[in-house]
Amino acid sequence: MTFLIAMTIGIATGAIRSIFSIVMVSAMLLLGGVVMIALGTSFGVMDLLMALIGYQVGLINCLILAMVVTSRRPA
């Protein structure tokens, strides 16, 4: 579930097309995960890695979709 939520966040952030927002959301995911690990919740290191990987997959999906849409557009 963490992977799917992070992937959805990655798709939404990629649709904005702002490098600043992409970097800041990634930093917020990392900071939130580190804080949850430090507080000793049930959120572990593997959950943090899955969230970061899901975020990157969402960004890649958005990039691929943008490439497909622009290549299918008639000139």
CA 60 → CA 22, 45, 57, distances in Å?
A: 12, 23, 5
- Reported as a single tens digit per residue, the pLDDT across 24-60 is 999 999 998 889 889 988 888 898 899 999 999 999 9
* pTM of structure: 0.81
pLDDT at position 75: 61
Domain boundaries in the chain?
1-64
pLDDT at position 20 over 90: yes
pLDDT at position 8: 92
Crossing angle for the helix pair 2-16 and 45-72, to the nearest 10 degrees = 40
The long-range contacts involving 15-21, CB below 8 angstroms and separated by at least 24 positions, are 15/62
pLDDT at position 2: 86
DSSP code for 42: S
Within 13 Å and on the Cβ side, how many CA atoms surround 7? 10
14 SS3 class: helix
